[in-house]
Structure 1
């Protein structure tokens, strides 16, 4: 079993793990030849299924195993994110799966360069600092010093049988799909709503009962509201975009689109958001929603798929590092579920 890769986008990797860490302490990481998957499945609350192409994060990448070159790991996100933060200013960074005292771990090796007036070599390998890091300092002619630091993140290797029963949730086709406004803007408003609801709640009301109502229609409208015995407040966004479905990706092609729930919903409601027809609504925990909105730090576009009174699925699309338009995108699927799930729908759009 072997995994080794050089990291080319440390900033995105760090932001990703920080966002995931806000939703759960452990992630199932699936490494394969085609992609890298991060999954969080808590006992309750948000499930996260994040699928990334390899070149989104890594430059060189090698994975080998007897199980069709697939490696499954249980990774502590806090430790991984802390290690990645130390590499933000690195000139290079590599990550590999290794063992120490017969225990598996991810070793993140970071190289940084700084100016120095010294020209001698100062090897310090073998001594760990207070953070448990192994370091090697070397100075070169011209006054530059390279420091190599290795961060070690303990992990657990999961056998194929352990993860065989884990699969992406399934739900019916969405009634509404819409591109959300900036997530940090949504987070600010939803956090304010939740705090106001808690302040005005009656004695005995707990945070777990604070439910945000999020709704959207096929006319570019999004509404977020909260209601308690003491208050009722809402915010409405208009002129948002409802992306068109791609006939080549929808079962039945043009006929399938004509019969799609979102097409029927588009015949209802209005663009000013005043009509009560044509809205798809879900109710979610306010604090849980606020945590998920932290994915906004990654940037990119976010499509929300509403299954009325059933589930909310978020798709986060990341643009290229070179700033190109969204011709090449990476999908991260963040899913909320608050009712039993029976099937899964993967939205296909023609950007």
Structure 2
């Protein structure tokens, strides 16, 4: 099997791996002819299934294997991959390929950088004439100047110009250990299925939402711990959205109840080409029926673990806005 590509958008690739690193240290990468998929499945917490078009991060993309669709499954350390990509942020060219060394599969990331190099200006006679011996007084005439004045036959030529600065290319290859997974080992791994969401809404800026979520989690955690005696108790946040452009986040314990609310947000319309049944499917969709309810009845609510939710919002470094889909059932709750 073979895989190689030029990295077209190193910043997006680096931010993606940095966001996934908040959730897990290992990622499953699926490469095929049509797309690149990054999957994080931690032992507990949120799963991430990120599907990217090839041209969003790669160019001159080439993949070959004996499986249908030229599919290659790799398991890679996110820590090492992100570190290698961060070193290529200012590179003029970067590429990635699947190789092998001593029988160990590796992802080799080759980085080409341009450095600004210049030679040091050589010393001149004028510079030497300005130097004084320690025994000479500040106003005394230097020995070189006396010799020059006594010998009219001495002629001084203009010193040669300093060489112009030049650009120098440096190529560095970093290797990241990878495990090639056989198709049989990943055949049973499928993206989680959820019921059709009742509300689609464009969330507020994720970094703003992340700050508020972390503040609510910290405020509620001491009261929850004091009530149960468990210092490691997880605090659940209550997320609610309506088809009227409203979104709420809050926390409720025996000691406190806090809530923040946004209005005037966007509820994206469904694309009939992406819905089974087309126009008829859109009319029968759960989110369409939700719009027929009153403002008080149209809220869809879920409960999420506060710390896990905060890590998920770390994708704000990749994209500041995201569409959230919510169902009224608290399917996040254990």
Task: Provide the TM-score with structure 1 as the length reference.
Answer: 0.79
Q: How does 1:273-284 map to 2 (within 5 A)?
A: 275=296, 277-284=297-304
Which structure: larger Rg? 2
Instruction: State how many pairs are aligned.
Output: 288
- CA offsets 1:40-83 (integer angstroms, 9 cap, x no match): 11222101000000010012111111113111000110100000
| 1:287 lines up with 2:287 in the alignment | no
| 1:73 lines up with 2:93 in the alignment | no
The root-mean-square deviation of aligned C-alpha atoms, in Å, is 1.7
| 1:180 lines up with 2:181 in the alignment | no
- CA offsets 1:174-213 (integer angstroms, 9 cap, x no match): 1111111111111010000011112333432344430001
Specify the alignment match of 2:125 in structure 1.
Answer: none
Specify the alignment match of 2:46 in structure 1.
Answer: 46
Alignment match of 2:272 (pick from 244, 247, 260): 247
Q: Measure how far apart 1:310 and its partner are.
A: 4.0
More helix by share: 2
Change beyond 3 A, Cα 1:21–1:208: farther
Q: Contact 2:7–2:95 at 8 Å: present in 1 too?
A: yes
CA distance in 1 between counterparts of 2:290 and 2:249 reads: 19
Between 60-69 and 193-202, report the one with greater CA deviation.
193-202
Q: Contact 1:217–1:269 at 8 Å: present in 2 too?
A: no
Q: Contact 1:269–1:279 at 8 Å: present in 2 too?
A: no
Q: Measure how far apart 1:118 and its partner are.
A: 5.4
Alignment match of 2:172 (pick from 137, 143, 149): 149
Say which SS state the counterpart of residue 322 (structure 2) adopts: strand
Q: Contact 1:3–1:63 at 8 Å: present in 2 too?
A: yes
- CA offsets 1:214-270 (integer angstroms, 9 cap, x no match): 010111110000011211100001111111112333233333222221122112233
CA distance in 1 between counterparts of 2:57 and 2:218 reads: 36
Q: Contact 2:206–2:321 at 8 Å: present in 1 too?
A: no
Specify the alignment match of 2:230 in structure 1.
Answer: 205
| 1:235 lines up with 2:236 in the alignment | no
Say which SS state the counterpart of residue 260 (structure 2) adopts: strand
Q: Contact 2:224–2:233 at 8 Å: present in 1 too?
A: no
Q: How does 1:123-202 map to 2 (within 5 A)?
A: 143-202=166-225
Q: Contact 1:8–1:57 at 8 Å: present in 2 too?
A: yes
- CA offsets 1:140-188 (integer angstroms, 9 cap, x no match): x952111111111101000010111111111111111111111111101
Specify the alignment match of 1:265 in structure 2.
Answer: 290
Change beyond 3 A, Cα 1:163–1:144: same
Specify the alignment match of 1:108 in structure 2.
Answer: 109
CA distance in 2 between counterparts of 1:72 and 1:252 reads: 33
Between 85-94 and 253-262, report the one with greater CA deviation.
253-262
Change beyond 3 A, Cα 1:115–1:77: same
Change beyond 3 A, Cα 1:182–1:207: farther
Specify the alignment match of 2:248 in structure 1.
Answer: 223
- CA offsets 1:262-298 (integer angstroms, 9 cap, x no match): 122112233xxxx3x2111111110101111110111
Task: Provide the TM-score with structure 2 as the length reference.
Answer: 0.82
Specify the alignment match of 1:55 in structure 2.
Answer: 55
Q: Contact 1:179–1:243 at 8 Å: present in 2 too?
A: yes
Say which SS state the counterpart of residue 18 (structure 1) adopts: helix
| 1:298 lines up with 2:298 in the alignment | no
Q: Contact 1:208–1:285 at 8 Å: present in 2 too?
A: no
